[in-house]
């Protein structure tokens, strides 16, 4: 069987957990391939709601093996707490696998993240302050600490000392903070060695062997396309590649093993943090979308910025990810509007632009060009077939499908795991 990638097609928070969970009982492995605990999924199972920050959402499906791939940065304290929290709710976490090549977020990464954001003032990026960016910076600078280093104290100590040699200079001389002791960090990290040891496996081999034996492997991005460090709205992006190309490097599965790339996108648009957002609403409609959609970040706790659907962004996501399908979520949130605007292009310096602008400057100056579609007032949360939707809701979905050029294969009509209309099987 081939591997399937699920990737956010906007700025993240599109409902990837719902999509993963929908497929979970037919998927053998669910892999997080990038990001850290700056991402989050909310998964509703019956009357229970689970907030996942680092763990793959497949952790909630009995028989499915969740995998934290080499492309993820892991805060061991967060991992321990999240596992304990799920176990307290009766969730079996014993199948979890962690790559030995995944990098660790250390206390000094968190410290540097927070002080750097404060130092930037109004120019801040809007990070979550959880040390993800500094951990990825160390990875690229070859100063990182990996999961496997916890099992060799001598190597761990050498690497921590090498990393702190520069960081302490920055903390003390630039940020006026205290120097961090090597022993302090080494001792704190070694506390997690025994917890992690049973979970660590050669995940690249495990996954490739599983594919060879006919297993279904689902690769789950942590954020959205527009937060990709290469393809997103730089510099207001994450520090890794949530786009489909990152699925291979972050999991150790070659690109020829991937045959399906599913983009998750809301029926409107949201983002958390700073950066350009052409369709953002600062009025009653924005407040209404935020309230009805429950638009508050799972990990950050921050209110999400809300706006109307943006076709150029969706087409851009289709292009850079090679999308084969869209999974449209939260269609139910749009119930109650007489008319629903859809951004079909931008105006930039008097010019109409129908694709994502090439430069940061142009995107910052882009204003939306809207087409108005008729809305609906009927409750759609119980719809399970496309024909159950009101005519105007059906027309809205078909309009987005035609405008983006990608078939919409599933539609979320409510927060419950069963509140989904499946138009085309995402596995077969």
**Do 14 and 266 contact (CB within 8 A), yes or no?**
yes
Per-residue pLDDT band for 117 (boundaries 50, 70, 90) equals: confident
279-297 pLDDT tens trace: 999 999 999 999 999 998 6
Q: Quick one: CA dihedral 312, 317, 322, 325, positive or negative?
A: negative
Residue 198 token pair: 């049973």
SS percent in the chain: helix, strand, coil, step 5: 40, 20, 40
Active-site residue flag, 13: yes
For residue 158, how many other CB atoms are within 10 A of its CB? Answer: 13
- Measured between alpha carbons, how far is 270 from 303 in angstroms, rounded to an integer? 10
For residue 407, how many other CB atoms are within 10 A of its CB? Answer: 12
Active-site residue flag, 41: yes
- Measured between alpha carbons, how far is 104 from 150 in angstroms, rounded to an integer? 10
The pairs formed by 120-123 with CB atoms below 8 angstroms and a separation of 24 or more are none
**Do 269 and 289 contact (CB within 8 A), yes or no?**
no
155-181 pLDDT tens trace: 999 999 999 999 999 889 888 888 999
pTM greater than 0.75 (yes/no): yes
Q: Determine which one of 41, 53, 103, 109 is catalytic.
A: 41
- Measured between alpha carbons, how far is 187 from 399 in angstroms, rounded to an integer? 57
334-352 pLDDT tens trace: 999 999 999 999 999 999 9
How many helices and strands (H and E) does the chain possess?
13, 19
């Amino acid at each position: 069987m081939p591997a399937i990638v699920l990737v956010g097609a906007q700025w993240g928070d599109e409902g990837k957990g719902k999509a993963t969970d929908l497929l979970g009982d037919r998927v053998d492995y669910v892999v997080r391939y990038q990001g850290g605990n700056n991402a989050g999924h909310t998964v509703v199972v019956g009357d229970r709601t689970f907030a996942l920050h680092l763990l793959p959402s497949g952790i909630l499906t009995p028989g499915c093996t969740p995998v934290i791939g080499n492309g993820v940065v892991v805060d061991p304290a967060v991992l321990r707490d999240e596992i304990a929290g799920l176990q307290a709710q009766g969730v079996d976490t014993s199948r979890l696998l962690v790559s030995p090549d995944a990098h660790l977020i250390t206390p000094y990464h968190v410290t540097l993240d927070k002080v750097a954001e404060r130092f930037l003032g109004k120019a801040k990026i809007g990070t979550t302050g959880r040390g993800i960016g500094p951990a990825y910076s160390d990875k690229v600078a070859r100063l990182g600490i990996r999961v496997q280093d916890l099992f060799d104290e001598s190597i761990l100590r050498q690497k921590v000392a090498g990393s702190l040699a520069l960081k302490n200079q920055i903390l003390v001389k630039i940020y006026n903070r205290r120097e961090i002791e090597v022993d302090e960090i080494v001792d704190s990290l070694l506390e997690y060695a025994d917890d992690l040891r049973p979970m660590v496996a050669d995940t690249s081999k495990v996954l490739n062997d599983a594919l060879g034996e006919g297993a279904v492997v689902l690769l789950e991005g942590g954020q959205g396309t527009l937060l990709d460090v290469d393809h997103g709205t730089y510099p207001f992006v994450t520090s890794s590649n949530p786009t489909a190309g990152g699925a291979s490097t972050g999991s150790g599965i070659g690109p020829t093993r991937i045959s399906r790339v599913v983009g998750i996108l809301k029926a409107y648009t949201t983002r958390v943090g700073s950066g350009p957002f052409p369709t953002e609403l600062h009025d009653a409609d924005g407040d209404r979308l935020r309230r009805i959609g429950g638009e508050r970040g799972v990990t950050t706790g921050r209110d999400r910025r809300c706006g109307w659907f943006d076709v150029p962004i969706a087409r851009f996501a289709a292009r850079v990810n090679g999308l084969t399908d869209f999974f449209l979520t939260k269609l139910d949130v749009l119930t109650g509007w007489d008319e629903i605007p859809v951004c079909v292009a931008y105006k930039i310096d008097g010019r109409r632009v129908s694709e994502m602008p090439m430069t940061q400057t142009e995107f910052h100056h882009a204003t939306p060009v809207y087409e108005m579609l008729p809305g609906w007032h009927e409750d759609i949360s119980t719809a399970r077939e496309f024909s159950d939707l009101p005519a105007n809701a059906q027309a809205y979905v078909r309009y987005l499908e035609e405008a983006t050029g990608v078939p919409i294969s599933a539609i979320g009509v409510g927060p419950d795991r069963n509140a989904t209309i499946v138009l085309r099987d995402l596995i077969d």
